[in-house]
Structure 1
């Protein structure tokens, strides 16, 4: 199945980041991209675009986890030096904040990659038979 966007695709009118942030289908702009917190739906319920044809993978996960971890570590060190709260305050503050930040940023990053793949017509490389 071809995933190349038609020239007058309604989804091409929105910015890629906005479409990713809202979980919009890149073809029809309906909010059908996700079936779970970071899991894509198999296909768009409105236009039938097959999301499994896109190879987004979990590439952004390591970078996002490291970036969010570095930011939260810096904030935790600052809080410790400035206020010296008890250890349980750090647990109650940073564990949920880190979890929400990683899942939220992973959702947006994966959706952004899918939207950009669709809009650029990107696909897996195929070797031609040279018989």
Structure 2
């Protein structure tokens, strides 16, 4: 584990995020499961307590991947009225492949972006009187 005085150069969030690597050192693992964040980096010691991507990855995957693939299945049904086997062997795999695999890289990218841009919970700015 690195000491506290080590200087870490800024890393591009998309490069480390889509690979599931630590946003500070780029070497440690970001995930301990498919979508579960690790408690911290085993290489540099960065705690991932700052990370809160919430439903961001799911929202983007649904909007940009799932909706078009479901639209394809509905279009195929309306236009060609194929048998159920078409949907079992074509539509379902397309929907699953466009909805599940993008979640992890997208979540990694969002967490790395939070670190890179030092995002934190919004606070109201009060006046000192």
TM exceeding 0.5: yes
Scaled by the length of structure 1, what TM-score is found? 0.73
Are the counterparts in 2 of residues 19 and 112 from structure 1 also a CA contact under 8 Å? Answer: yes
Task: Provide, for residues 47-101 of structure 1, a one-character-per-residue CA deviation record: whole Å limited to 9, x for no partner.
Answer: 111112222112331342243232112322454436x542122123232332332
1:35-46 alignment, distance < 5 Å: 35-46=32-43
The equivalent residue for 1:56 is 53
Aligned-pair RMSD on alpha carbons?
3.0
For 1:5-84, what aligned pairs fall within 5 Å after superposition? Answer: 8-10=7-9, 12-13=10-11, 15-80=12-77, 81=79
Counterpart pick for 2:102 among 88, 101, 105:
105
The verdict on how the C-alpha distance between 1:7 and 1:58 changes in structure 2, with shifts beyond 3 A counting, is farther
Change (3 A) 1:47 1:86: same
Greater CA drift, 19-28 or 72-81: 72-81
Q: Does 1:119 align with 2:105?
A: no
- The runs of 5 or more residues in structure 2 that have no matched partner are none
Structure 1 residues 44 and 31, CA, compared in 2 at 3 Å: closer, same or farther? closer
**Structure 1 unmatched ranges of 5 or more:** 1-5
Residues 9-49 of structure 1, C-alpha deviation per residue, up to 9 Å, x if partnerless? 24x24x32221111111111115011111221111111111
Distance 1:37 1:94, change over 3 A: farther
Give the length in aligned residue pairs.
Answer: 123
For 1:126 and 1:76, locate their aligned partners in 2 and report how far apart those are by CA, in whole Å: 44
**What is the TM-score normalised by the length of structure 2?**
0.73
